[in-house]
A = this chain, B = another copy of it.
Amino acid sequence: MVDLNVNIGHLKLQNPVMTASGTFGYGLEFDDFIDVNLLGGIIVKGTTLEPREGNAYPRMAETPMGMLNAVGLQNKGIDHFITDIYPKIQKYTTQLIVNVSGSNIEDYLTVVEKLNELDRIPAIELNISCPNVKSGGMAFGTSCSSAAEITKAVRSTYKKTLIVKLSPNVTNITEIAKTVEAEGADAVSLINTLLGMAVSIKTRKPLLSTVTGGLSGPCVKPIALRMVWQVFNAVKIPIIGLGGIMNANDALEFILCGATAIQVGTANFIDPRISIKIIEGIKEYLQSNKINSISEFRGSLILK
């Protein structure tokens, strides 16, 4: 048997496959299709201090091998999460990670402090990279100083595993990664969506109510892979890779480029069982290539 266990900070995952925030609901939406407990972990929807209605419709546009979204962090707020969602998802035995967003540092801190109290939430993913909200969001993730500031603040109150999710909409992602590593992040996840746009020449209008939105899906994979590889060569903390992973091959490519774990996002919409198929596919690949453990394969890219 191959060893699929990986560690992200204090977090132990039974395999490197997680599901990406905003693409897997709270897991419950997928109970009809898969045994969610087979996953390495799930990252639940972006959660903010106050309830948010999100952006106006339309929020979605299809693009070549991808999609744009402008959901805008619709969620019912942290208190609703604690009282209504948390009890429901405690049935899962897989790792539960909450993706946290906010428009200012105080909001982030309040949410994080509340999550710190929840036994079954061993880690948070700090979203400093959402392109779909007016204030906060991506703004935190596109400069080193603000990324440092928020990571430092959260780190000082949050004692469990802290993952910081990086924005690809930057000139130099390694600098941001190094900064959040220096401020005590246990891991980085990358990439969030790329800022994109789509219009209709029939209506002459943008296809999203917000004009621009976040691009995800296979179209972004080459960019995501490159960033994972760059960051792998720049930091020591584990990297969680994502962006366009549609199958086990894609997942293995990210791990080959240095990712300790991966997340499946948009692919869940095309095939709700895909995350489980990816775990199977990774196992098969390692077995047929006689690789004993996923960590042996990690970052083993051959540069001749």
Contacts and interface: CB of A to CB of B under 8 A. Distances in A.
Interface stretch (A45-53, A82-90, A214-222): A214-222
B171 A249 contact: no
Given A204-B256, A256-B201, A301-B205, A222 B215 contact: yes
A135 to B, nearest CB: 17
Contacts of A64: 65, 217-219, 221, 244
A91 interface: no
Residues of A in contact with B, size category: 35 or more
A193 to B, nearest CB: 10
Nearest to A63: B222
Interface in A197-215: 197-199, 201, 203-206, 211-212, 215
B301 A206 contact: yes
A219 B65 contact: yes
A1 interface: no
Interface stretch (A20-28, A116-124, A223-231, A268-276): A223-231
Given A65-B218, A223-B194, A301 B244 contact: no
A256 B206 CA distance: 10
Interface of A: 63-66, 68, 142-143, 169-172, 194-199, 201, 203-206, 211-212, 215, 217-223, 225-226, 229, 244, 249, 252-253, 256-257, 285, 300-304
